[in-house]
Amino acid sequence: DTGVSQNPRHKITKRGQNVTFRCDPISEHNRLYWYRQTLGQGPEFLTYFQNEAQLEKSRLLSDRFSAERPKGSFSTLEIQRTEQGDSAMYLCASSLQGQERNTIYFGEGSWLTVV
């Protein structure tokens, strides 16, 4: 397994710009999650996909955020009209439905800095 891959790893953007992050889960993992983590805090759940279906969205995911997983493989997280409060690390994770241990594997994260 190559693990969960995220890119870009770092992004600095001006307030008001749009940014997009990509996540490639572990192959054959049908479940994909996005989390957000700010300094000194634990990861906070944003959204969950099973295959291509987005089954749950956190209230943290405002209408400026949109996530897709068009073919049930990779996923994108887009933030429109970024604000300074969006500065955080965005973590993607994947797991395999039915896998006994239900272990969730995380990528290295994508750091966003809004200036």
Partner 1 sequence: SQQGEEDPQALSIQEGENATMNCSYKTSINNLQWYRQNSGRGLVHLILIRSNEREKHSGRLRVTLDTSKKSSSLLITASRAADTASYFCATGVSGGYQKVTFGTGTKLQVIP
Q: Contact residues for partner 1 (CB under 8 A)?
A: 4, 6, 31, 33, 35, 40-45, 48, 50, 55-56, 89, 91, 93, 95, 97, 101-109, 111
* Residue 42, CA atoms < 13 Å, CB-side half-sphere: 1
Closer to partner 1 by CB, 61 or 93: give it: 93
Within the chain, residue ranges assigned H as helices are none
Q: DSSP label at 9?
A: S
Report the residue number, 68 or 108, with the smaller CB distance to partner 1. Answer: 108
CA distance 62 to 40: 22
Q: Residues for the chain: how many in total?
A: 115
Is the Cβ of residue 21 or residue 48 nearer to partner 1 in the bound state? 48
- Smallest gap from residue 47 Cβ to partner 1 (A): 11
